[in-house]
Amino acid sequence: MTEDLNAWIGCDSACPAQAAWLIKLVEGELYFCGHHKNKFEVALDKVAYEMIELNKTEELPILEEAEV
Ligand SMILES: [Zn+2]
């Protein structure tokens, strides 16, 4: 299974923000923006086994355009 961490994924909490966190649950996964991740963090802590921060720009390689 591959995960495209660069894809635009919306927050699962019916808000217009882009998801910033992938919350892995035993039975599936959820995407939350930073706001909702913080809002539900206490509850998620009990059910999530992994929280992955998306859009970490510092580790993404910069793709330069090939010379024509
Ligand atoms: Zn949200």
> How far apart are the CA of 68 and the centre of ligand 1, in A?
42
Confidence grade of residue 3 (pLDDT, cut at 50, 70, 90): low
**How far does CA 65 lie from the centroid of its chain?**
27
Give yes or no for residue 1 having a pLDDT over 90: no
> How far apart are the CA of 51 and the centre of ligand 1, in A?
15
Whole-angstrom distance, CA of residue 49 vs CA of residue 39 = 17
- Protein residues placing their CB within 5 Å of the ion ligand 1: 11, 13, 15, 17, 33, 36
CB 17 within 8 A of CB 9: no
pLDDT, tens digit, 9 for 90 and up, residues 4-38: 656 789 999 989 999 999 999 988 999 999 999 99
- Kindly list the domain boundaries of the chain, sorted by start residue: 7-56
